[in-house]
Amino acid sequence: MSDSANQLSCNLNSSCDCVHVLSSMVEVVGHRVGLSDKLTNRMVLAVDEMFANIAQHSYHGHEGKVDMSACWRDDELSFELRDYAEPLMADEMLAWPVPDAAGELKPGGLGMHLMRAVMDKIEHEALADGNRWRLTKYLHGEQHDEA
């Protein structure tokens, strides 16, 4: 793990037991940025879901490298996750519909919905040797006290 003034980063693999490392790191970032407990929990959720997507959809349950970095400044917090799997066609995933409580319940697609509900921007970049995802949350003064 590396640590600079406004950035934290670490290199992991996609094994499920690494998710707690990411969660701990996001909690540290949340405290440093001064987020409320509620918003920190939401950031942990979004990064957890992105990590799960990488493990399941990029690496298909096999182990692979995952790099994560968090950067923040006054008005913005972003998390970048990078894998080294086959580049994904992410447009379809980003377009997954919001679950309809009145309709038929389907567990699938919930992770992407949660990420979109929590973050202000989700970007995907297909690289020659993998994928880069960036989750961005715009920060406003009130979010430091109450999400």
Partner 1 sequence: MMKLEVSQIEQGEGAVRVKLDGVVNIQTAVGLRRQLKPMLSKKNSNIHIDLSGVGFIDSAGLATLVEGLQWSRAAEGRRFVLSGLSDNVRDIFELAKLDAVFEIEQGNAA
- Where on the chain is the footprint of partner 1 (CB under 8 A)? 16-17, 19-20, 23, 37-38, 41-42, 44-45, 48-49, 51-52, 55, 98-101, 105, 107-108, 110-111, 113-114, 117-118
DSSP conformation letters of 121-135: EEEEEEETTEEEEEE
Cβ 60 to partner 1, closest distance in Å?
14
Cβ 81 to partner 1, closest distance in Å?
14
- Chain mean position to CA 20: 13
Cβ 52 to partner 1, closest distance in Å?
4
Q: Closer to partner 1 by CB, 38 or 121: give it.
A: 38
Helix (H) or strand (E) holding 10: strand 7-13
Beta pairing, strands 121-127 & 76-83: unpaired
